[in-house]
Structure 1
Amino acid sequence: MKKSFIYFITGCFALFSCNKNPLDITPDGRITFDDVFKNEIQTESFVNTIYSKIPTYFFNYNNYGFLAGITDEAQEVRNTYIGGMALQWQNGGLTPSSNPLSGMLDYAVWWQGIGHANLFLSYIDNATIKDGAKKSRLKAEVQLLRAFFYWELVKQYGPMPAVDKPFDATFSYETLKRPAFADVIAFIVQDCDAVIANQDVPLRITNVAERGRFPKSVAYAIKTQALLFNASPLWNPGNDAAKWAAAAQAGKEAVQALTVQGDYKLFADYGQYFLKTQDLGANIRDFETIHEIPAPAGVFSVINTIPTNGRLIGTSAGACPSQELIDSYEMQVTGEPAILGYSDNDHLQPIINAASGYDETKPYEGRDPRFYATTWYNGSHYGMIAGIDHHVETFIGGLDQMIPQVQFTNTRTGYYLRKFYDPLIPANQLVQECRWKKFRLAEIYLNYAEAENEANGPAQAYEPVNIVRRRAGMPELPTGLDKNQMRERIRRERRVEFAYEEHRFWDVRRWKILSQTDKLVTGMEIRKQPDGSFTYKRFVTERRASGWQDKFLLFPIPIGETNLIPDFAANQNPGW
Structure 2
Amino acid sequence: MKFIAVGIIALISLSCSDFLDKNPLDQISSETFWQNEQEAKMALTGVYSRLRAFTFTHKDTEFDIMAGDVCGNQGHSIINIAQGNIEPNSGGIVSYIYSNCYAGIGSCNFFLENIEKTPISTETLNVYKGEVCFLRALFYFTLTEHYGGVPLYTSPVTIEEAKVKQSTKEEVVNQILSDLDFAIANLPDKTYSSGHAVKGSAMTLKAKVLLHNQRWQESAEIADQIIRDGKFSLYNDFRNLFLSSGQKNNPEIIFSTRYLNPDIYSDLDIRWSWHAVVEPRQELVDAYECADGKPIDMSPLYDPSNWRLNRDPRLLMTIKAFEDSVYNSAGQKVGFNYNAVSATGYSPVKYCNWDALPINYSTHSDQDWILLRYADVLLMYAEARNEVSGPDASVYDAINKVRDRVNMPQLPTGLSKDEMRKRIRNERRVEFALEGIRWGDIKRWKTAETYIPTLVDPGGKRRQFDPAKHYLLPFPQREMDVNKNLIQNPGYN
Structure 2 length-normalised TM: 0.84
What letter matches 1:164 in structure 2? T
Do the aligned partners of 2:88 and 2:94 also contact (CA within 8 Å) in 1?
Answer: no
**Aligned residue in 2 for 1:183:** 171
Query: Which segment drifts farther, 360-369 or 86-95?
Result: 86-95
- Aligned: 1:357 with 2:301: yes
Aligned match for 1:454, one of 363, 367, 387: 387
**Aligned residue in 2 for 1:203:** 190
- Aligned: 1:479 with 2:413: yes
Answer with 1 or 2: which has the greater Rg.
1
Q: Distance in 2 between matches of 1:503 and 1:512?
A: 15
- Aligned: 1:328 with 2:287: yes
**Aligned residue in 2 for 1:346:** none
Do the aligned partners of 1:161 and 1:177 also contact (CA within 8 Å) in 2?
Answer: yes
**Aligned residue in 2 for 1:541:** 458
Structure 2: state its 5+ residue gaps.
1-16
Report Cα offsets for 1:245-265 as digits up to 9, x if no partner: 1222222223223x2xx2x11
Task: Describe the SS at the equivalent of 2:411.
Answer: coil
**Aligned residue in 2 for 1:489:** 423
Q: How does 1:42-441 map to 2 (within 5 A)?
A: 42-54=39-51, 55=53, 57-60=56-59, 66-79=62-75, 84-90=76-82, 94-101=86-93, 105-125=96-116, 127-167=117-157, 171=161, 173-174=163-164, 176-179=165-168, 181-198=169-186, 201-206=188-193, 211-231=194-214, 243-257=215-229, 259=230, 262=231, 264-276=232-244, 279-280=247-248, 284=249, 286-295=250-259, 298-305=266-273, 315-332=274-291, 334-338=292-296, 352-353=297-298, 355=299, 357-377=301-321, 382-383=326-327, 409-427=340-358, 430-441=363-374
Task: Describe the SS at the equivalent of 1:453.
Answer: helix
What letter matches 2:350 in structure 1? K
Structure 1's 475 and 388: CA in aligned 2 closer, same or farther, altered over 3 A? Answer: closer
Structure 1's 159 and 458: CA in aligned 2 closer, same or farther, altered over 3 A? Answer: same
Do the aligned partners of 1:94 and 1:100 also contact (CA within 8 Å) in 2?
Answer: no
Q: How does 1:466-545 map to 2 (within 5 A)?
A: 466-519=400-453, 521=455, 541-544=458-461
Structure 1's 434 and 122: CA in aligned 2 closer, same or farther, altered over 3 A? Answer: closer
Task: Describe the SS at the equivalent of 1:568.
Answer: coil
Structure 1's 323 and 143: CA in aligned 2 closer, same or farther, altered over 3 A? Answer: same
Structure 1's 43 and 72: CA in aligned 2 closer, same or farther, altered over 3 A? Answer: same
Task: Describe the SS at the equivalent of 1:10.
Answer: coil
Structure 1 length-normalised TM: 0.73
Task: Describe the SS at the equivalent of 1:53.
Answer: helix
Aligned match for 1:554, one of 459, 472, 484: 472
Do the aligned partners of 2:472 and 2:489 also contact (CA within 8 Å) in 1?
Answer: no
Task: Describe the SS at the equivalent of 2:243.
Answer: coil
Report Cα offsets for 1:395-429 as digits up to 9, x if no partner: xxxx99xxxxxx96222112221111233444268
Do the aligned partners of 1:229 and 1:510 also contact (CA within 8 Å) in 2?
Answer: yes
Do the aligned partners of 1:457 and 1:483 also contact (CA within 8 Å) in 2?
Answer: yes
Structure 1's 194 and 378: CA in aligned 2 closer, same or farther, altered over 3 A? Answer: closer
What letter matches 1:434 in structure 2? Q
Structure 1's 43 and 362: CA in aligned 2 closer, same or farther, altered over 3 A? Answer: closer
Structure 1's 370 and 4: CA in aligned 2 closer, same or farther, altered over 3 A? Answer: same
Q: Distance in 1 between matches of 2:217 and 2:406?
A: 28
Deviation for aligned residue 1:565: 4.9
How many residues are treated as equivalent by the alignment?
466
Do the aligned partners of 2:112 and 2:132 also contact (CA within 8 Å) in 1?
Answer: yes
Deviation for aligned residue 1:99: 2.4
Q: Distance in 1 between matches of 2:119 and 2:442?
A: 46
Do the aligned partners of 1:75 and 1:542 also contact (CA within 8 Å) in 2?
Answer: no
Q: Pairwise CA RMSD of aligned residues?
A: 3.2
What letter matches 2:347 in structure 1? Y
Q: Distance in 2 between matches of 1:273 and 1:408?
A: 28
Report Cα offsets for 1:55-74 as digits up to 9, x if no partner: 2544447xxx7443333112
Do the aligned partners of 2:314 and 2:406 also contact (CA within 8 Å) in 1?
Answer: yes
Q: Distance in 2 between matches of 1:14 and 1:463?
A: 58
- Aligned: 1:41 with 2:4: no
Structure 1: state its 5+ residue gaps.
18-30, 232-242, 306-314, 339-351, 393-398, 401-406, 523-539
* Percent of matched pairs sharing the same residue: 26
Structure 1's 162 and 252: CA in aligned 2 closer, same or farther, altered over 3 A? Answer: farther
Q: Distance in 1 between matches of 2:288 and 2:309?
A: 11
Do the aligned partners of 2:454 and 2:463 also contact (CA within 8 Å) in 1?
Answer: no
